Structure 1
């Protein structure tokens, strides 16, 4: 504390002072040096660290709701189910079509292998017929065989070549058939994936961990792609958005302390500026600043809060607001001073009068700065160590005898 309390409650009446009015019981505080803050108050809006609005990815009727507002859920948690009878049938049909296409592919593979085997045999037959033809041609040239045998060999060779061509055509046809079945499989897989995705779209899941917000729909409602089902809010950490006037932009910087204030205007949570926008809001002529706060459970996404930015801190003096009086637009305090000693008055033995110490109130003009809590910053008019009156001020005038209420009670 900047000022130490030195007085208590009055428990007995003030003693009479010889030749003058009785002293007024007051409470005093000693002015002490302390840290003075330069601050500005704003109204800011809290924003959740992560917030997702859930909408359906397909039109349908709500058949089941798995959670309640306020539930804490993990990522991939089912939130709501839409009617999926038709989607399940489409998935079953797509799977059956895919299985049929895969069976056709297996058949096409078997046909291709058979055609390739026939082509290999036909090629071997051509090779053998060609060899026989050349051998018989040599024998005919030598006169060992008749011309008729050569004609038969040529015929066998031509027949084998034709069979090989037919086998090669069968291979190409089997390959084309296989490619077609593979295309059918690809289409069937795509249709199956679409059907599965459509079925999955009928179940709404949470993409993040967080707290479930309000659920405005109920079982039986028909929803569309534009219907808001609920929201998932991750508010363990909240960002505070503050619009700082352009006049303060030169002082605004990352790292400045920021305080969230409670209903009495006292700091409840403390954070620091984490972001300063590089541009100015043209409409409001302000600069957006953000500060992050760990949520203690009392804060909500979208909540408006009182906040205070601490621009600087420096040594200085504070005086309680209760000590201030205002006259003609000026501010004053009463300080306690020792009364002037009358040299004609005899001094009690050992300096003891039997009465509590008495002082007088002196009015002092002070210049004040910003208010800080329940005190004003003192710019001029007071010095450390001086005692100011903080209670009973309305009963005082310049030179009024005063006495500490605590001293009177002794």
Structure 2
């Protein structure tokens, strides 16, 4: 019985040792490190690198005005609604013109009398000239008839000028759009009394817009008028429109010490004047070696990549320090530590260790944002 128990115990110990040894297999320890991990790799190559910075810009209409009346009076009608598109010379608001219209009618009545007097004086002058020629009238009477004809003509001309002025003045009672555009809000209503200092509404034409951006003084020195582009971005960071700078302020703002930069563009995107937009000023574009941000890891402020290396006939991932610059899109600019053609790992970095055996495969084409979809890597 003791012999059977001893043999059974020995067998149990042996099975236990075998189980422990099996546990040290592929699941962990050194054995796991010897397995080749499938990874995706790319070869570093030169790409376009931008020296750019993002700002908040303001859209400004190149044709935007505040409408004021040129006369005083009570508002009689507002025939358009706020926010509607109006044609050139379309009536926006009417000030009560009845008093001015009555004055015009009175002046027109005076005009008829003045024209009749002028015609009578002209005929009198003609008769006086004939009588003077026949010796039947004195020179003094003739000259008096000439003076009366001239006075009547002057009076008629004055009445004509007054009528023309009143007609122009009467036209001011209808506030019309000086150009086609979109009407803003009306802070007044029918029945309100307005003066030439009363703001009626705004009129914007958004066919041509300007984007105004405030940039630091040192960056403004690098801007070239007609060459440096300003890009308007949408919520996803994609370029909606790009236009060259046409204006750089000669002095910075006294309050912010920033320099205003403007670019103009044709608005085919439905943007609105006064809108705040994301913008990017591209100060410089050049060719440089780049690496995907997803391939870069940061340890204590130092950047590293896993390069593909051959060791004893096998392929391993070798961690190598790398110097990087600014991010353009989803790539870092490589400023040192790697050369064109160097193969680096772009997938499974969290599973890699220095010297890890790997099975390299060409990286799949990026879908959406960056290789592997890590749009925010390295930021």
TM-score, scaled to structure 2: 0.80
Matched, 1:198 2:169: yes
| Residue among 289, 311, 332 paired with 1:376 | 332
Residue matched to 2:154: 183
State how far apart, in whole Å, the 2-side matches of 1:324 and 1:34 are: 17
Matched, 1:173 2:144: yes
Residue matched to 2:102: 89
State how far apart, in whole Å, the 1-side matches of 2:58 and 2:165 are: 42
Are the structure 2 counterparts of residues 70 and 339 from structure 1 closer, same or farther at C-alpha, using a change threshold of 3 Å?
farther
Are the structure 2 counterparts of residues 228 and 359 from structure 1 closer, same or farther at C-alpha, using a change threshold of 3 Å?
farther
State how far apart, in whole Å, the 2-side matches of 1:388 and 1:62 are: 74
List per-residue Cα deviations over 1:125-166 (Å, max 9, x = no partner): xxxxxxxxxxxxxxxxxxxxxxxxxxxxxxxxxxxxxx64xx
Contact 1:266 1:373 (C-alpha < 8 Å) held by counterparts: no
Matches within 5 A, 1:215-364: 215-254=186-225, 255-341=227-313, 359-364=315-320
Residue matched to 1:402: 358
Are the structure 2 counterparts of residues 265 and 213 from structure 1 closer, same or farther at C-alpha, using a change threshold of 3 Å?
same
* RCO comparison, higher one (Cα < 8 Å, 6+): 1
Give the stretch that moved more between structures: 87-96 or 215-224.
215-224
State how far apart, in whole Å, the 2-side matches of 1:209 and 1:402 are: 67
> Aligned with 1:187: secondary structure?
helix
Give the stretch that moved more between structures: 380-389 or 198-207.
380-389
Matches within 5 A, 1:387-398: 387-398=343-354
Give the stretch that moved more between structures: 248-257 or 200-209.
248-257
List per-residue Cα deviations over 1:351-410 (Å, max 9, x = no partner): xxxxxxx84222121111111122221111222222323332222221223345889xxx
State how far apart, in whole Å, the 1-side matches of 2:334 and 2:81 are: 55
> Aligned with 2:346: secondary structure?
strand
State how far apart, in whole Å, the 2-side matches of 1:286 and 1:391 are: 42
Are the structure 2 counterparts of residues 26 and 62 from structure 1 closer, same or farther at C-alpha, using a change threshold of 3 Å?
farther
Matches within 5 A, 1:154-165: 164=137
Deviation at 1:31, TM superposition (A): 1.9
Give the stretch that moved more between structures: 93-102 or 69-78.
69-78
Deviation at 1:19, TM superposition (A): 4.8
Matched, 1:70 2:26: no
Deviation at 1:203, TM superposition (A): 0.3
Residue matched to 2:112: 99
> Aligned with 1:391: secondary structure?
coil
> Aligned with 1:338: secondary structure?
strand
State how far apart, in whole Å, the 2-side matches of 1:94 and 1:276 are: 55
Deviation at 1:25, TM superposition (A): 4.4
Contact 1:62 1:80 (C-alpha < 8 Å) held by counterparts: yes
Are the structure 2 counterparts of residues 266 and 359 from structure 1 closer, same or farther at C-alpha, using a change threshold of 3 Å?
farther
Contact 2:42 2:362 (C-alpha < 8 Å) held by counterparts: no
Matched, 1:209 2:180: yes
TM-score, scaled to structure 1: 0.74
Larger Rg: 1
Contact 2:111 2:156 (C-alpha < 8 Å) held by counterparts: yes
Aligned residues: 335
Contact 1:116 1:168 (C-alpha < 8 Å) held by counterparts: no
Are the structure 2 counterparts of residues 16 and 340 from structure 1 closer, same or farther at C-alpha, using a change threshold of 3 Å?
farther
> Aligned with 2:118: secondary structure?
helix
Deviation at 1:234, TM superposition (A): 1.4
Task: Name stretches of at least 5 consecutive residues in structure 2 with no aligned partner.
Answer: 1-25, 364-379
| Residue among 41, 47, 54 paired with 1:28 | 41
State how far apart, in whole Å, the 2-side matches of 1:216 and 1:29 are: 62
Give the stretch that moved more between structures: 323-332 or 178-187.
178-187
State how far apart, in whole Å, the 2-side matches of 1:325 and 1:319 are: 12
Are the structure 2 counterparts of residues 294 and 359 from structure 1 closer, same or farther at C-alpha, using a change threshold of 3 Å?
farther
